[in-house]
Amino acid sequence: MSEKMSPVKPSSLSSLPSERHRFTTILSFESLDSTNDYIKSNLDAYDDGTVVVASYQTQGRGQFERTWESQPGMNLLCSILFKNQLDPLCLSEITVRAIRQTLADYGVSSWFKNPNDIYADEYKIAGLLIETKYTLGVRTSVVLGIGLNVNQQYFETTTATSILLQTGKGLDRLDVLERLLCHLENELETCE
């Protein structure tokens, strides 16, 4: 399934809430093996909605253990913990929308390629990884990992791009995170 989204008009940028209510705990690290692995190793220590961000991941990955290429401090690498009965399929759908809305806010048109990739033109700009934990057959947590190429200019692969390469403008990664979390919070209402 692929769908294109055109950039939003500047007036719609002000429609974002000025304050998030769900994602209030954000933990930031210079380097982790993987933000998803960090959360999964510390599930009991953190509450629902905790966000973990790393400037660099030594073992960042996507689906099927594919490596996620990212230079230190260049991109948005984060994971979010959900401890409710949130449906992973619905979470995937709303995360795709939130990422695409965030890209549109910065003037980047994008489309979704199943199962978990976001493209700008023919170049991959973002991906997501959802991992679930079950206890006695009951889903007890969902970890959502997001990789969004923000300021990286050079990639080993010829099939990747970033917001900077698409627009010519560098961005503060934490501003991009804030915008993404606001869009995701707005979209979550459709899953709950």
Judge contact between 86 and 192, C-beta under 8 A: yes
Out of 21-25, 115-119, 128-132, least confident range: 21-25
Judge contact between 147 and 126, C-beta under 8 A: yes
Q: From residue 101, give the alpha-carbon distance in Å to each of 78, 80, 85, 92, 154.
A: 17, 18, 25, 14, 24
Judge contact between 101 and 158, C-beta under 8 A: no
Average of per-residue pLDDT across 113-129: 94
Q: What was the pLDDT predicted at 168?
A: 95
Q: What was the pLDDT predicted at 65?
A: 53
Question: Which residue is it, tokens 């984060």?
Answer: 78
Q: What was the pLDDT predicted at 70?
A: 76
Name the residue among 19, 60, 22 with its Cα closest to residue 148. 60
Q: What is the pLDDT of residues 55-86, one digit of tens each?
A: 998 865 555 455 566 778 999 999 999 998 78
Q: What was the pLDDT predicted at 136?
A: 85
DSSP string covering 82-135, please? E-S---HHHHHHHHHHHHHHHHHHTT--EEEETTTEEEETTEEEEEEEEEEEEE
CA atoms within 13 A on the CB side of 93: 10
pLDDT bin (cut points 50, 70, 90) of residue 29 is very high
Angle, CA of 39, 42 and 44, to the nearest 5°:
120
Average of per-residue pLDDT across 94-120: 95
Instruction: Kindly list the domain boundaries of the chain, sorted by start residue.
Output: 4-188
Phi, psi (rounded to 5 degrees) for 11: -65, -25
pLDDT bin (cut points 50, 70, 90) of residue 28 is very high
Whole-model pTM: value is 0.86
Judge whether residue 8 has pLDDT over 60.
no
Judge whether residue 178 has pLDDT over 70.
yes
- Higher per-residue confidence, 16 vs 48: 48
For the segment(s) 4-188, the CATH number from 1.10.260.40, 3.50.50.60, 3.40.350.10, 3.30.930.10 is 3.30.930.10
Judge whether residue 6 has pLDDT over 60.
no
Q: What was the pLDDT predicted at 111?
A: 97
Average of per-residue pLDDT across 29-52: 93
